[in-house]
Structure 1
Amino acid sequence: MVCGLLMLLAASCQQPDKTTDPAPESGTPTELGQPMGAAVSKSIGPAGGTIALPDGKLTLVFPAGALSRETTISIQPIENKAPGGTGLAYRFGPDGAQFAKPVQLTWRYRPEDLAGTAPEALGIAFQGSDRVWMGTTNVTVDKNARTLTASLPHFSDWSIYEQYFMTPTEAALAPGETVQLDVFYQPGRREANPDRPDPDDLITPLVEARKMDRSQVKNWRVNGQDLGSRFDENSGALTVLNEGASATYRAPNKVPATPYNPVAVSVELVMKGGPQIQFVTNLTIAAANELTVGSRKIQTPTVTLTVAEPILSVLMTELAQDAPLANQVYLSAGVGKFTGTGTYSTDDHDFNSIVAGTSDGTSYTDMYVDQFGVRHDTHAKITVTEYNRAKKIIRGRISGSLKHFDDHTYEVKTIQVDGVFRAAMP
């Protein structure tokens, strides 16, 4: 039986109306997370005490009598390896420590932790000695304070995870582009024994998420509207698929105005009792390719990509791909040590460069040498926000300030460039 580790304000465990998959017998082991920052520590004794991260994201409260002697308590941020895990995980020390009274953990979640999910759909899990993550059901959600609170009988690696969620959590689309949205759940297996209130009984092993049935979700909406089969010029269209809890969204044919952009696609879980749970994915509609060089703006430039790692070349032109660069607007960028998504600055002139041209034949570069032999650098950058090898897609932006130096008059001209691109790799 699919039992939600859905952390509702009520203590009971709510379930979707229909289950689709038999519960697994065991969880999915994962490797241990590596440290992701400095640990904090504090000595706490039998009288009890509190330890918290400097940013207030996580707090542990030890009641009087939880510890029998002075103990150094530590919190180490680590990689989150939990199935469905969100944000960082944390390693509490001493590892394996047991307590005479449960320690209260309060985890303050961020808005970004809720991308594609909801507060009620978050749970807290720990990793056992067998490397399997176990989700706890004794959790309270305070939506106003944005906290999850749980009682810990022992120390281990702990994480926030998503019991239900929608993918993608967010995306950027070009006009007319489509994307499929899917709703998943964490199958798990409830091991609660009503005759034994021991918190260790209120656990379920975490496994890889599985897609929900179409009947387990309802009320697909786009910007709050039920579009049905209608195509809206500002919101686009949404088609609910027959297989699974899935829908295909199609972006409008032009970039919508700000009130409609980003587009919010939402769906609700079908639950037996309890509050309604709604997931939202925000989709930003932007021109796939757009080029601005000085005062000239080209709405649909031609984009040519060359990828031969570690080299990336991007050429954006006003005219067709085979047209000569002279007397047309263009923007060219090269990265000599391309490693994927990230920002590549022309401050590193040995490997990165940007050149632009205008329709009068003037070229602008990220550096020039004046009449005295002095080199002058400008600041520009290439930012790659998507590098999808499987789909052979690269998305990014070329932006900054370039200069032209006239060898005869010694005049220096400055121009601003901005090129947004999303194109297929050869």
Structure 2
Amino acid sequence: MLKRLSLAHLALLTAAAIVIACGSEQALLVSPRIDTAPPLGVVADPSGARIRPIRRVSPRGTDESWSFDVGPAGAIVPRPSSGLTITVPPGAVVSTTHITVTALKGAAVAYRFEPHGLQFAVPLRLTQSLYGIKLDHPSLGVPPLFAGYFAGDSLSVDAVSGDARVIEILPVRIDVKSHAVVLQIHHFSGYTVASAAADSLVDVR
């Protein structure tokens, strides 16, 4: 199962949210299970669960890749042009490791992480800003989200429906103050931001 997941990618999908922590620096929400969302865990259907990626207000014309080295002390690596911040906590890797991230072209918020299959002793935190992203209008005043992996080096999005498929569903937290979604991962290779249903989209600026 780990081999299968290590070749997978990650997606963020729509769900409802409840408050789990409100500190001085963050107000974090976690997605509960809702009737219209796929259940958490590995998807039983070999073809995956159908989701709809959320979109950037300004689609990416090309892939954008960046790399960094991180050691046992950890690091925080922001990428303002994509809205992604990677937090590698102390102890996540045992020796200096070279990591490459690619923000994939197109409107869908999608990333590829390398080296494929890299495992972490302590989970990494991925924080994706939701500014400049098209989202469902949140009924609870916050963007309700959950996460999932997809197979392959890129996310195949249907040009007509806007749907894509993922092979595992994961929970996420939402940083209300920063308007960002936060996901913990234990291995690479990637993720994309998506919604389970996107009938009415509004720009978040």
Normalised TM-score (structure 1): 0.31
Identity over aligned residues, as a percent? 25
For structure 2, list consecutive stretches of 5 or more residues without a partner in the other structure: 1-12, 20-29, 51-60, 156-164
Partner in structure 2 of residue 65 of structure 1: 91
| Whole-angstrom CA distance in 2 between matches of 1:90 and 1:103 | 15
- Distance apart, 1:117 and its partner CA: 3.9
* Equivalent residue runs for 1:343-362 within 5 Å: none
Distance 1:143 1:113, change over 3 A: farther
Q: 2: CA distance between counterparts of 1:12 and 1:123?
A: 6
Q: Which whole-Å CA distance do the structure 2 matches of 1:28 and 1:60 have between them? A: 26
Kindly indicate whether the alpha-carbon contact (under 8 Å) linking 1:60 and 1:106 is maintained by their aligned counterparts in 2. yes
Determine which structure has the larger strand proportion and give its number: 2
Question: Are residues 1:50 and 2:59 paired?
Answer: no
Give 1:15's aligned amino acid: I
CA gap of 1:73–1:107, structure 2 versus 1, over 3 A, is same
Match status 1:37 vs 2:63: yes
Equivalences for residues 87-236 of structure 1 within 5 A: 87-114=108-135, 116-118=136-138, 119-128=142-151, 133-134=166-167, 136-167=169-200, 169=201
Q: Aligned-pair RMSD on alpha carbons? A: 3.5
| Counterpart residue identity of residue 75, structure 2 | G
Note the 1:221-260 alignment, pairs <5 A.
none
Give the distance between the partners of 1:7 and 1:72, measured in 2 at CA: 36
Q: What's the offset of the Cα at 1:120?
A: 3.1
Which whole-Å deviations, capped at 9, do the CAs of 1:317-371 have from their partners, x for residues lacking one? xxxxxxxxxxxxxxxxxxxxxxxxxxxxxxxxxxxxxxxxxxxxxxxxxxxxxxx
Runs of 4+ deviating beyond 6 Å: none
Q: Which residue of 1 aligns with 2:100?
A: 74
Tell me what 1:8 maps to.
17
CA deviations 1:199-245 (Å, max 9, x no partner) are: xxxxxxxxxxxxxxxxxxxxxxxxxxxxxxxxxxxxxxxxxxxxxxx
Shift of 1:140: 0.8
Structure 2 distance, partners of 1:75, 1:14, is 30
Task: For 1:141, give the aligned amino acid.
Answer: I
Aligned pair count? 153
Larger radius of gyration: 1
Residue equivalent to 2:23: none
CA contact (8 A) 1:117 1:164 kept: no
Shift of residue 111, structure 1, vs aligned partner: 4.6
| Alpha-carbon separation, structure 2, partners of 1:5 and 1:113 | 12
Other structure's SS at 1:87 match: strand
Q: CA deviation at 1:110?
A: 2.2
Question: Could you give the per-residue CA deviations for residues 270-321 of structure 1, whole angstroms, max 9, x where no partner exists?
Answer: xxxxxxxxxx69xxxxxxxxxxxxxxxxxxxxxxxxxxxxxxxxxxxxxxxx
CA contact 2:31–2:172 (8 Å) conserved in 1: no
Q: Write out per-residue CA displacement over residues 69-93 of structure 1, whole angstroms, 9 at most, x where no aligned residue.
A: 111111111146xxxxx63301111
Q: Which residue of 2 aligns with 1:312?
A: none
> What TM-score, normalized to structure 2?
0.61
Aligned residue for 2:199, secondary structure, equals: strand
Q: Counterparts of 1:15 and 1:37 in 2: how far apart (Å)?
A: 34
Match of 1:357 in 2: none
Partner of 1:166: helix, strand, or coil?
coil
Letter of the 1:13 partner, please give it. Answer: P
- The structural deviation recorded for 1:147 is 0.3
